């Protein structure tokens, strides 16, 4: 792991941490203590086993380093994250599929439960797992107007797991989540703002980062203990369900994803992507 100090746009020193060939780059502003975690896995930040593992490790490090906040963003031109890497569950190796899904569960729990405030800087398309990660942050700022966001699983012929659904319900409410999920709707930035899936729409990534810092800096005046307890209580039922049902969720997903019907739908969807 390499570390170096670089001078930021506002002339404060930023502590940079990156490993060679890393898919995740992190900078920490020394003055504010706010980290920026940049996902950088070409071509579309699809979340495979190794990438998820890196994101989880990075979040755990930030917790250990006691950062004051974190922005999650993408280093790619027009994609925040294409969601789960479909090649992990199309014609999968069952052992790897199990590892992949457990790692997804753990990464999501780590992100959803961070003891520090988080903001998603959605600087590109954000379908399915990409939307899940954005919704798991405390605040969402999306660069408009060209990109889309949503849980589109039904469009792939698959069903979003309960904890994906509960995360969406927590953000936009039962009725809107039900319509979004059953139709697999991908929302434009304006639509996402209208239904409350994002909190702000901004014209460019620099403005998004400025707004993200503004949001996170609010917490300098809030007791970290009060913040964390409140977040834990608010998110308790969704988190506890997964903790109590990890193995059941894993068993279901591994069996379900390998069924002939799902494999057929995924094959057709992948083909349509290649076209
Ligand atoms: C109970 C089980 C629940 C399982 C839950 C699953 C949740 C998920 O997250 S499923 C994944 C859902 N994701 C999507 O539907 C996104 C699909 N991708 C896109 O819509 C587009 O690729 C994009 C808008 C993200 C980007 O478009 P762009 O035109 O820039 O790039 P493409 O030419 O489409 O893609 C480049 C390259 O990447 C491959 N690819 C895209 N998305 C994925 C993905 N999610 N997993 C794996 N691979 C992906 C795409 O096929 C292209 O590959 P080639 O270069 O080889 O053609």
C-alpha 86 to ligand 1 mean position (Å):
7
- Give CA–CA dist 19/42, Å, rounded: 16
Alpha carbons within 13 angstroms on the beta-carbon side of residue 242 total 23
Atom of ligand 1 nearest to the CA of 257: 2
pLDDT reported for residue 12: 54
What average pLDDT score do residues 197-208 get? 98
34 C-alpha to ligand 1 centroid (Å): 30
C-beta separation of 100 from 272 below 8 A: no
Residues 179, 150: Cα–Cα separation, whole Å: 11
pTM, rounded to two decimals: 0.95
- For 31-63, what is each residue's pLDDT tens digit? 999 999 999 999 999 999 999 999 999 999 999
Q: What is the predicted pLDDT for the residue at 182?
A: 98
Residues with CB under 6 A from ligand 1: 43-44, 46, 79, 82-87, 125, 127-129, 152-153, 156, 158-159, 161, 253, 256-257, 273-274
Query: What is the reported pLDDT for 240?
Result: 98
Q: Are the C-beta atoms of residues 254 and 101 closer than 8 Å to each other?
A: yes
In 3-state terms the chain splits into helix, strand, coil percentages (rounded to 5) of 50, 20, 30
What string of H, E and C letters represents the secondary structure of 146-167? CCEEECCHHHHCCCCCHHHHHH
Of 59, 62, 84, 111, the catalytic one is 84
From 83, 129, 130, 150, the catalytic residue: 129
187 membership: H or E segment, kind and range? strand 187-188
Active site (annotated) includes residue 49? no
84 is catalytic: yes
Q: What does residue 83 show for φ and ψ, rounded to 5 degrees?
A: 85, -160
- First-to-final CA distance of the chain: 39
Which ipTM score applies to this complex?
A: 0.99
From the CA of 132, give the closest atom in ligand 1: 9
User: Cα–Cα distance between 45 and 96 in angstroms, integer?
Assistant: 19
* Interatomic CA distance for residues 243 and 69, integer angstroms: 25
Q: From the centroid of its chain, how far is CA 224?
A: 22
pLDDT tens per residue, range 223-234:
999 999 999 999
Type and span of the H or E element at 71: strand 69-74
pLDDT number for residue 175: 98
Query: Ligand 1: distance of its center to the CA of 102 in Å?
Result: 21
Q: How far apart are CA 68 and CA 50, in angstroms?
A: 26
Atom of ligand 1 nearest to the CA of 253: 1
> Rounded mean pLDDT of 138-159?
97
Q: How far is residue 65's CA from residue 57's CA, in Å, rounded to a whole number? A: 12
Task: Tell me what the mean pLDDT of segment 189-208 comes to.
Answer: 98
User: What is residue 117's DSSP assignment?
Assistant: -
Q: By percentage, how much of the chain surpasses pLDDT 90?
A: 92
Question: Is 129 annotated in the active site?
Answer: yes
Calculate Rg over the CA atoms of the chain.
18
Mean pLDDT of 233-255: 98
């Amino acid at each position: 792991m390499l570390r170096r100090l670089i001078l930021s746009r506002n002339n404060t020193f930023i502590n940079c941490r990156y490993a060679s060939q890393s898919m995740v780059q992190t900078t920490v502003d020394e003055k504010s203590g706010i980290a920026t975690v940049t996902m950088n896995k070409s071509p579309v930040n699809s979340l495979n086993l190794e990438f998820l593992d890196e994101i989880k490790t990075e979040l755990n490090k930030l917790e250990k380093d006691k950062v004051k906040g974190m922005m999650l963003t993408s280093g790619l031109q027009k994609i925040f994250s294409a969601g789960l890497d479909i090649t992990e569950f199309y014609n999968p190796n069952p052992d790897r599929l199990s590892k992949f899904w457990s790692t997804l569960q753990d990464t999501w729990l780590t992100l959803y439960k961070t003891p520090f405030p988080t903001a998603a800087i959605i600087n590109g398309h954000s379908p399915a797992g990409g939307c899940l990660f954005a919704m798991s942050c405390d605040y969402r700022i999306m660069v408009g107007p060209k990109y889309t966001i949503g849980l589109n699983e039904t469009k792939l012929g698959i069903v979003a797991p309960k904890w994906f659904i509960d995360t969406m319900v927590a953000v936009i409410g039962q009725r809107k989540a039900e319509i979004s999920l059953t139709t697999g709707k991908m929302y434009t930035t304006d639509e996402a703002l209208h239904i409350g899936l994002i909190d702000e729409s901004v014209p460019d990534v620099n403005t998004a980062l400025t707004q993200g810092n503004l949001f996170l800096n609010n917490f300098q005046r809030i007791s970290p203990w009060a913040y964390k307890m409140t977040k834990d209580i608010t998110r308790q039922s969704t988190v506890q369900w997964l903790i109590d049902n990890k193995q059941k969720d894993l068993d279901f997903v591994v069996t379900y994803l390998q069924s002939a019907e799902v494999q057929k739908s995924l094959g057709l969807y992948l083909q349509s992507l290649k076209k």
